[in-house]
Amino acid sequence: MLIIIKRYAFYFVLSILLPLTLIAQTSYEKSLALYEAKDYYDSIEILENIMLSNASDVNSMLLLVDNYISIKNYVQAKNIISKIKQKYPRLVAAFVKELQVAVLENQSESQIQNFINNIKSIDNRNYYASYYEGLLAQNKGYINDAIKLYEYSLSLTNNAPEASFALSYLYQMKNETQKALDLLNKNRINNVNSEQSYYHLANIYYINKNYLQASNEIKKALYLYPTYTEALVLDANIKSAMGLYDEAISNINKIQDSSINNLEKNYMIANIYEKQDENDLARQNYKLFLDANINNEIVRIGPVHFNYPAGSSVILLPNDCHSCNALSCLSEE
Res 260: pLDDT = 66
Q: Per-domain residue ranges for the chain?
A: 18-107, 212-313
How far apart are alpha carbons 208 and 257 in whole angstroms? 27
CATH fit for domain 18-107, picks 1.25.40.10, 1.20.1250.20, 1.10.1200.10, 1.10.287.1080: 1.25.40.10
How far apart are alpha carbons 121 and 183 in whole angstroms? 30
Walk along the chain (333 residues) and give the pLDDT tens digit of each residue.
544 444 444 444 445 444 444 455 688 999 999 999 999 999 999 999 998 888 889 999 999 999 999 999 999 999 999 999 999 999 999 999 999 999 999 999 999 999 999 999 999 999 999 999 999 999 999 999 999 999 999 999 989 999 999 999 999 999 999 999 999 999 999 999 999 999 999 999 999 999 999 999 999 999 999 989 999 999 999 999 999 999 999 999 888 756 666 678 888 888 888 888 888 888 888 888 887 776 655 454 444 443 333 333 333 222 333 333 333 233 333
Looking at the chain, the number of H-run helices and the number of E-run strands are 17, 0
State the DSSP string of 261-324: -HHHHHHHHHHHHHHTT-HHHHHHHHHHHHHHTTT-HHHHHS-----S-SS-TT----TT--SG
Q: pLDDT for 205-221, tens place per residue?
A: 999 999 999 999 999 99
- Longest CA span, the chain: 95
**Within 161-253, where are the H helices?**
161-173, 177-190, 195-207, 211-224, 229-241, 245-253
CATH topology identical between 18-107 and 212-313: yes
Q: Of the candidates 286, 232, 231, which has an alpha carbon nearest to the alpha carbon of residue 254?
A: 232
The answer to whether 221 and 196 are in contact (CB under 8 A) is yes
How far apart are alpha carbons 69 and 313 in whole angstroms? 11
Res 257: pLDDT = 58
The answer to whether 95 and 64 are in contact (CB under 8 A) is no
212-313: CATH topology:
1.25.40
